[in-house]
Amino acid sequence: MPLLGLLPRRAWASLLSQLLRPPCASCTGAVRCQSQGTRDLSPQHMVVREKILDLVISCFKRHGAKGMDTPAFELKETLTEKYGEDSGLMYDLKDQGGELLSLRYDLTVPFARYLAMNKVKKMKRYHVGKVWRRESPTIVQGRYREFCQCDFDIAGQFDPMIPDAECLKIMCEILSGLQLGDFLIKVNDRRIVDGMFAVCGVPESKFRAICSSIDKLDKMAWKDVRHEMVVKKGLAPEVADRIGDYVQCHGGVSLVEQMFQDPRLSQNKQALEGLGDLKLLFEYLTLFGIADKISFDLSLARGLDYYTGVIYEAMLLQTPTQAGEEPLNVGSVAAGGRYDGLVGMFDPKGHKVPCVGLSIGVERIFYIVEQRMKTKGEKVRTTETQVFVATPQKNFLQERLKLIAELWDSGIKAEMLYKNNPKLLTQLHYCESTGIPLVVIIGEQELKEGVIKIRSVASREEVAIKRENFVAEIQKRLSES
């Protein structure tokens, strides 16, 4: 898939500004268009998507995952109190008599519900599907309200950090495979986040709310996040400042060692557990050969309530940076973490099934790849047609229909114009504009001689082949090309 090279810095900037355009730009005004924040996917979009999803899914399958699907909507009660502050963004269905339903907000909660409902204790699955969030177009511009998620999760009680390390390996394989340029995966642990809050003096009742604020650090400056924590969420300024010292820290496994020695953090049991697991994780990541892609980052918090252990988020980097220049952050393209308590919330006896997983932000990837193709002027074929059935004369519809049926019945992708008497030039133009490589031509002369002419669109060479051999000849040519 020769999709991607490196984008120059200016192209990144233009890309970012386009990512931030208001949604529904495709609305022409000709007709009342589709719902705000959603969009149609044209054949051009679909070709790019198919290639990217193929790569993602084949990676998931390489790691032994099974496919699965859940309904687009769930009982509202299944989804409530799982997402923290973001819950208000859920789409509810109208009460038309019956149950209260909501469109799914992610693929993780339905997976946990599935595990509990079917008493599944162990499962490695992937799920590609749409999710829906009522993002306000003015607040979070450029995000669509309907988007695709690609999730991979490992459920089950295993020895520590082995599945977690595999999740990070998968993220690396996918991001490398897509050739999106250099990337970095930030790693932290919810227990370190909570431990940090505790030793900084955050009241436990505010842990999740402050966590949501910290999560905004990749989009907002520290002073704005601090303002939100102090003014909106009532945190004491000196507590905020103590947090501020920690969230500046990022580094490799040596930072893990350093935090073990941190006079405050080392007093917190939870934080120590998290640090211990991170140390083990780094050991496995080194064996996988990906430790250089991973950064322990104390500013990573992840917004969702359900995480309980390791959390991570992959960022694309502006690759060719000058010395001393900060890498340009183009945002998260994959993220995930450990959620050991979620399945238990659906089990009547509270039986837990520990889980760890990841979600690939394919919408952003789709967009980046599309932009890069545009920049490079790469054309995509939106059909796969191999052969076109043409005639230079009038009254050859019947012969064309017979020929094309033979091609279809032999598994060959074929098209013709739906006209009784099309002009030859129109037919050949169609092949050139849609990228069809071969034409078979039937006319008076061919009919008389019992042959079919095969024309290569690129070279314009034509050869006459006996009627009974033309399918075989085409199959030969297609297998060679």
- Residue 4 beta carbon to a second copy: minimum distance, rounded to whole angstroms: 19
Q: Which two tokens stand for residue 462?
A: 């034509």
Question: Which residue do the tokens 């799914």 mark?
Answer: 104
Q: Which is nearer to a second copy, 156 or 276 (CB)?
A: 156
Q: How many CB atoms lie within 10 A of CB 332?
A: 20
Count interface residues toward a second copy (CB under 8 A): 95
Residue 104 marked in a binding site:
no
38: nearest Cα among 143, 151, 150 = 143
Count of all residues that appear for the chain in the document: 481
- Residue 156 beta carbon to a second copy: minimum distance, rounded to whole angstroms: 7
Contact map string, positions 47 to 66, toward a second copy, x by CB under 8 A: x--x----------xxxxxx
- Residue 327 beta carbon to a second copy: minimum distance, rounded to whole angstroms: 25
Q: Interface with a second copy by CB under 8 A: which range of 118-126, 178-186, 204-212, 437-445?
A: 118-126
Q: Which two tokens stand for residue 233?
A: 């969420």
Q: Which is nearer to a second copy, 50 or 292 (CB)?
A: 50
Sign of CA dihedral 339, 340, 343, 347: negative
Q: Which is nearer to a second copy, 318 or 386 (CB)?
A: 386
How far apart, in whole angstroms, are the C-alpha atoms of residue 325 and residue 335?
25
Cβ neighbors of 234 (< 8 A, separation 6 or more) are 206
Question: Could you say which residues in the range 332-351 bind a second copy, by CB under 8 A?
Answer: 346-348
Helices of type H across 150-219: 162-177, 190-200, 207-214
- Residue 140 beta carbon to a second copy: minimum distance, rounded to whole angstroms: 15
> Considering the rule CB under 8 A, would residue 150 count as an interface residue with a second copy?
no
Residue 307 marked in a binding site:
yes
> Considering the rule CB under 8 A, would residue 82 count as an interface residue with a second copy?
no
- Residue 67 beta carbon to a second copy: minimum distance, rounded to whole angstroms: 4
SS3 67: strand
> Considering the rule CB under 8 A, would residue 93 count as an interface residue with a second copy?
yes
> Considering the rule CB under 8 A, would residue 384 count as an interface residue with a second copy?
yes
Q: Which two tokens stand for residue 442?
A: 């039937």
57: nearest Cα among 67, 47, 48 = 67
Give the orientation angle of helix 269-287 with respect to helix 162-177, to 10 degrees: 50
Asked if 178 contacts 365 with a C-beta cutoff of 8 angstroms, the reply is: yes
Angle at 471 between CA 466 and CA 475, to 5 degrees: 125
How far apart, in whole angstroms, are the C-alpha atoms of residue 471 and residue 474?
5
Residue 270 marked in a binding site:
no
Q: Which two tokens stand for residue 224?
A: 């704005």
Q: Which amino acid is at 437?
A: P
Cβ neighbors of 56 (< 8 A, separation 6 or more) are 128, 150, 174, 360, 362
Question: Could you say which residues in the range 168-197 bind a second copy, by CB under 8 A?
Answer: 169, 173
How far apart, in whole angstroms, are the C-alpha atoms of residue 433 and residue 435?
6
Question: Could you say which residues in the range 410-439 bind a second copy, by CB under 8 A?
Answer: 411-415, 418-420
How far apart, in whole angstroms, are the C-alpha atoms of residue 37 and residue 46?
18
Residue 41 marked in a binding site:
no
> Considering the rule CB under 8 A, would residue 459 count as an interface residue with a second copy?
no
Residue 153 marked in a binding site:
yes
Q: Interface with a second copy by CB under 8 A: which range of 188-196, 197-205, 323-331, 393-401?
A: 393-401
Interface residue with a second copy, options 125, 191, 226, 364 (CB under 8 A) = 125
- Residue 385 beta carbon to a second copy: minimum distance, rounded to whole angstroms: 5
Interface residue with a second copy, options 402, 429, 466, 476 (CB under 8 A) = 402
Q: Which is nearer to a second copy, 174 or 210 (CB)?
A: 174
Question: Could you say which residues in the range 14-43 bind a second copy, by CB under 8 A?
Answer: 26-28, 30-36, 38-43
- Residue 23 beta carbon to a second copy: minimum distance, rounded to whole angstroms: 11
Question: Could you say which residues in the range 202-261 bind a second copy, by CB under 8 A?
Answer: none
- Residue 188 beta carbon to a second copy: minimum distance, rounded to whole angstroms: 22
- Residue 202 beta carbon to a second copy: minimum distance, rounded to whole angstroms: 32
Q: Which two tokens stand for residue 365?
A: 């990837």
Residue 106 marked in a binding site:
yes
Q: Which residues are annotated as a binding site?
A: 106-108, 133, 149, 153, 302, 306-307
